[in-house]
């Protein structure tokens, strides 16, 4: 029989994901840890999260530098000895932070877990931020900052964050002068207040068997702590200061302009969160989205354009982001606003909405693939104060949301006069 | 250890299957044995532009992305100097949709004029965004033609210049497709929650009817041995000076490759490496420094590159790097250092096999180098390298007459 290639093979709908919570285990000193024993690879990921993101200080550089300085030496060992102690076993140490949280993560082959975990404990409890290392770090960071100022995307990203969250901890500004103003004492105070074993949220994933739990108890469980207290201060929801809608930063030598359009929104607990997530995916959340189809695939103005929502612990925002040729900056803006208006004015066609729903369910399924992905999903629930049925509710909301509800959400949240616009480059 | 089955269809398409029941997903990776090195010197950037056109619809399916997204799938692709690689992942139940889409664009593209016109613009914007509108963005556009005088590695994947992309014609697109996008020039890997017998049936159904064509012969000029030190100095609007030193090294499938790769790790991977310890932390001449290998299929480059601290000259920085390399040549390789980078290489390999898509890609790359089974012996081969091997490679590599040096200075 001749194969008819014009007809798609039959496909099935996507089942929801099976969320299973990691297990809790109480160490000898009373510290609760969570672990997920899963996978076929002989590896362990041990992550320690602290409430120490950049929104936790009036100057966002202080948490950021503190996070980087944590591996630069302890009371007992120099920075290079710490680096060797990790690298000798082929392990990886990752220091990271966002607005709300900072994390210290160890990735290691399982057979070296018992040797490398003590290094992490030593960093958390005994990092002393040596002055010589601080001088090197601040000078290198300043240079990186100057390099970044040459990128329209960096300038736009930073300025836009400060515009959307003006006057709140999520929008605290910083300039080159702050690199000179920040003092090592600021970092030491921040480190002392935020980085302690008892203030950490600990998650293990990979082949976490009895042996791994025993090693964990011997290293972490043996360390004396006071009452565990991961959740301390959280940034409050502040009112945002009033400002103009249109902003422009000129860069005369730019050959592309960076465009950012968006507004403040909400965190994951808001009743409109799931619906707006679907809405912004339609607009710019996947390769076939309306913005990509129009601005890239039809007009060829850009290499890429995206839209989405970002949620923090107690706040969130909506963004549209792209870099376009300077000669088509105004044309691109017109097309972007046209696409946003269509969401308010017309119902999304059934085919398109079904496609987006399936795409989102497929992405969700993928985000549960493997132990490291699964522990991330658990982490999100815990850090953002969500219940265990969150992923079931998410799946149901995607399936059920209607075109009419989405149009109403667009009218509620995406009115043009509520959107801040920033162009960095040339108009 | 990645288990797999391998078979070849009558039209020459190689198929590799890896079953992994622990994931709900399936992946399809299609590697085409064509990259920027196969381009004509007057039509550079073509392999990459072509990759974009592969998403512009095929003969029976007007749009590639929509049907895939409809069944919960996702896809992407990349081009480098050696290969063009396409990959998708989707819920395993919907595997056949992937076969349908990938086989149709191997059969024949739609060759839409509109798609060509738009993708020319998109790629030109990509050229601007990644290579021109970024500080230091053109470093590799400068370094490649300095190091390679005859081999096509002298141009970057994006191409030598924008005009090569804007001049691309539909007839060029057609002949490129007919020559390189054939079953015998491709490797298909299917991995994830799949069944090998089922995959064989699907491959027979969707790919076997594609007409065979002979595998294009590759006859690239061999880069002659470099016999004199090369220098280039440029000035740009950047905040600090940078330096690159590129040494000619062996190809990815040479038995000497791992010794050279481990040497680059020892010198410049991470904060416990020799260059970082000596030059960023010790003498504080650099704010960052790295050593790495390009790992290309033909003879590659061993690169040391760094950004200089304010007040340090390129000459001073160059001299400091030369002294560090001379230390290795003169003093040899400490066993502890070698053990360290071998451990790192092993864990990189193990972590690299965490995702099913990574496994699929690794199998495809290894098969292109001659045998998919190479993925399972890589750690052994790394473990077999001795300190003496690495020391020998340092002596062969680190000669100024084997080196192209780029001083990238800020405007004064």
Distance (Å) from the C-alpha of residue B83 to the closest C-alpha of chain A?
21
Tokens for B321, please give them: 């790097």
Average pLDDT, chain A: 94
Yes or no, beta carbons of A147 and B129 under 8 Å apart: no
Would you state the structure tokens that stand for residue B399, as one six-digit string? 């000669």
Q: Give the residue carrying structure tokens 């129009």.
A: A294
| ipTM of the predicted assembly exceeds 0.85 | yes
pLDDT tens across A70-129, in order? Answer: 999 999 999 999 999 999 999 999 999 999 999 999 999 999 999 999 999 999 999 999
Distance CA A208, CA B169 (A): 57
- Contact status, residue A285 vs residue A306, Cβ threshold 8 Å: yes
Q: Give the domains, in start order, of chain A with CATH numbers.
A: 23-221 (3.30.830.10), 246-425 (3.30.830.10)
Mean pLDDT of A284-309: 94
Contact: B347, A358; criterion CB under 8 Å: no
Q: Is A371 exposed, middle or buried (0-12, 13-18, 19+ CB in 10 A)?
A: buried
CA distance B222 to chain A (A): 34
CA–CA separation, B20 vs A40, rounded Å?
Answer: 10
pLDDT mean over B364-384: 96
Residue at token pair 């994933």:
A205
- Please enumerate in sequence order all residues whose Cβ is within 8 A of that of A132, keeping only pairs 6 or more positions apart, or say none: none
The pTM of the full predicted model, rounded to 2 decimals, is: 0.91
Q: For residue B84, give every residue at least 6 positions away whose Cβ sits within 8 Å of its Cβ, in sequence order, or none.
A: B31, B32, B34, B35, B47, B48, B50, B51, B77, B78
Yes or no: say if A221 and A393 are a contact pair by the CB < 8 Å rule: no
Whether the predicted pLDDT of A237 surpasses 90: no
The residue among A362, A375, A377 with the most chain B CBs within 10 A of its CB, best to mutate, is: A362
Range among A17-31, A270-284, B168-182 rated most confident:
A270-284
Q: Does B61 touch chain A (CB under 8 A)?
A: yes
**What pLDDT score does A2 carry?**
81
CB contact under 8 A, A41 and B350: yes
A301 contacts in chain B (CB < 8 Å): 121, 125
C-beta of residue B113 within 8 angstroms of C-beta of residue B170: yes
- Which residues of chain A neighbour B60 with C-beta distances below 8 Å? 5-6
**Nearest CA among B243, B247, B246 for reference residue B286:** B243
Nearest to B97 among A9, A112, A254 (CB): A9
Q: Which chain B residues are closer than 8 Å to A361 by Cβ?
A: 72
The residues with which B15 forms a beta bridge, in sequence order, are: B7, B188
Indicate the helix (H) or strand (E) that contains B303.
strand B301-308
- A427, pLDDT greater than 90: no
**Tokens linked to A205:** 């994933």
Helix axes B170-180 and B46-53, enclosed angle (nearest 10)? 90
Residue with structure tokens 């998410």?
A394
- Average pLDDT (A407-427) is 96
Compute the distance between CA of residue A76 and CA of residue B169 in angstroms, rounded to an integer. 66
Nearest-CA residue of chain A relative to B101? A8
Sign of the torsion formed by the C-alpha atoms of B200, B201, B207 and B210: positive
Q: Give B63's contacts in chain A (Cβ within 8 Å).
A: 288
Tokens of B17: 């299957």
pLDDT at B355: 86
Summarize the confidence of residues B303-309 as an average pLDDT.
97
* Residues of chain B with C-beta less than 8 angstroms from the C-beta of A297: 118, 122
Inter-chain CB proximity A143 and B356 less than 8 Å: no
What distances in angstroms separate CA A229 from CA A91, A159, A195, A199, A223, one per listed residue?
Answer: 29, 34, 11, 5, 15
Q: Give alpha helix (H) positions in B88-223.
A: 95-107, 113-127, 139-147, 162-166, 170-180, 196-206
Whether B166 and chain A come into contact, CB under 8 Å, resolves to no
Q: How far apart are CA A149 and CA A258, in angstroms?
A: 13
């Amino acid at each position: 029989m001749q194969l008819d290639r014009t007809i798609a093979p039959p496909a099935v709908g996507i089942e929801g994901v099976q969320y299973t919570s990691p297990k809790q285990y109480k160490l000898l000193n009373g510290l609760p840890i969570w672990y997920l024993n899963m996978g076929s690879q002989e590896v362990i990921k041990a992550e320690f999260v602290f409430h120490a993101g950049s929104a936790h200080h009036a100057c966002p550089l202080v948490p950021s530098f503190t996070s980087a300085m944590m591996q630069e030496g302890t009371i007992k060992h120099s920075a290079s000895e710490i680096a060797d102690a990790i690298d000798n076993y082929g392990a990886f140490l990752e220091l990271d932070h966002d607005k709300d949280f900072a994390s210290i993560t160890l990735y290691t082959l399982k057979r070296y877990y018992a040797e490398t975990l003590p290094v992490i404990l030593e960093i958390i409890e005994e990092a002393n931020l040596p002055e010589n290392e601080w001088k090197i770090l601040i000078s290198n960071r300043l240079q990186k900052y100057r390099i970044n100022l040459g990128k329209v995307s960096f300038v736009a990203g930073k300025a836009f964050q400060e515009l959307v969250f003006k006057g709140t901890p999520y929008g605290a500004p910083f300039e080159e002068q702050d690199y000179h103003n920040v003092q090592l004492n600021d970092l030491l105070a921040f480190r002392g207040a935020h980085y302690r074993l008892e203030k950490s949220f600990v998650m293990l994933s990979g082949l976490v068997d009895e042996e791994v739990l025993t090693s964990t108890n011997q290293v972490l469980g043996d360390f004396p702590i006071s009452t565990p207290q991961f959740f301390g201060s959280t940034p409050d929801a502040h009112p945002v200061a009033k400002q103009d809608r249109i902003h422009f930063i000129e860069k005369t030598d730019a050959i592309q302009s960076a465009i950012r359009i968006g507004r403040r929104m909400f965190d994951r607990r808001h009743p409109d969160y799931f619906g707006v997530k679907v809405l912004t995916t339609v607009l710019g959340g996947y390769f076939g989205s309306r913005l990509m189809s129009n601005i890239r695939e039809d007009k060829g103005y850009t290499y890429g354009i995206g839209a989405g929502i970002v949620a923090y612990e107690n706040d969130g925002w909506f963004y549209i982001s792209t870099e376009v040729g300077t000669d088509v900056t105004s044309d691109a803006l017109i097309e972007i606003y046209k696409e946003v208006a269509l969401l308010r004015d017309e119902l999304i066609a059934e085919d398109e909405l079904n496609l987006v729903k399936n795409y989102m369910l497929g992405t969700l399924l993928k985000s549960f693939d493997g132990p490291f992905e699964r522990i991330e999903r658990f982490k999100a629930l815990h850090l953002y104060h969500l219940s265990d049925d969150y992923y079931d509710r998410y799946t149901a909301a995607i399936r059920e949301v209607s075109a009419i509800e989405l149009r109403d959400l667009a009218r509620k949240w995406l009115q043009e006069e509520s959107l801040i616009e920033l162009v960095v480059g040339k108009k | 250890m990645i288990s797999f089955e391998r078979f070849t269809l009558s039209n020459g398409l190689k198929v590799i299957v890896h079953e992994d029941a622990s994931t709900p997903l399936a992946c399809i990776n299609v590697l085409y044995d064509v990259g920027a090195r196969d381009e004509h010197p007057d039509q550079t950037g073509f392999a990459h532009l072509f990759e974009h056109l592969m998403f512009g619809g095929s003969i029976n399916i007007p749009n590639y992305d929509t049907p895939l997204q409809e069944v919960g799938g996702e896809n992407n692709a990349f081009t480098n100097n050696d290969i063009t690689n396409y990959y998708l992942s989707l819920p395993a139940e919907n595997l056949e949709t992937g076969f349908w889409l990938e086989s149709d664009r191997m059969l024949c593209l739609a060759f839409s004029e509109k798609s060509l016109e738009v993708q020319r613009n998109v790629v030109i914007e990509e050229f601007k965004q990644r290579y021109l509108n970024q500080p230091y963005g053109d470093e590799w556009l400068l370094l490649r033609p300095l190091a390679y005088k005859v081999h096509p590695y002298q141009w970057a994947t994006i191409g030598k210049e924008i005009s090569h992309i804007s001049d691309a014609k539909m007839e060029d697109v057609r002949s490129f497709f007919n020559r390189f996008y054939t079953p015998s020039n491709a490797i298909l890997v299917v991995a994830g929650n799949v069944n090998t017998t089922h995959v064989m049936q699907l491959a027979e159904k969707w790919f076997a009817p594609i007409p065979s064509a002979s595998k294009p012969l590759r006859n690239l000029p061999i880069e002659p041995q470099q016999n004199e030190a090369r220098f280039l100095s440029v000035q740009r609007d950047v905040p600090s000076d940078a330096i690159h030193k590129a040494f000619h090294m062996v190809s990815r499938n040479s038995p000497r490759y791992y010794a050279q790769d481990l040497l680059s790790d020892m010198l410049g991977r991470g904060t416990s490496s020799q260059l970082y310890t000596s030059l960023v932390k010790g003498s504080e001449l650099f704010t960052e420094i790295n050593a790495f290998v390009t790992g290309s299929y033909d003879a590659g480059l061993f690169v040391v590159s760094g950004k200089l601290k304010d007040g340090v000259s390129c000459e001073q920085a160059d001299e400091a790097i030369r002294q560090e390399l001379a230390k290795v040549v003169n003093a040899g390789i400490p066993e502890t250092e070698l053990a360290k980078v071998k451990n790192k290489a092993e864990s990189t390999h193990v972590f690299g096999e965490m995702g099913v898509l990574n496994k699929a890609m690794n199998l495809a790359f290894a098969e292109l180098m001659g045998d998919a089974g190479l993925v399972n012996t890589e750690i052994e081969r790394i473990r077999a390298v001795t300190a003496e091997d690495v020391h020998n490679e340092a002596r062969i590599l680190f000669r100024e007459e084997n080196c192209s040096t780029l001083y990238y200075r800020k405007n004064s």
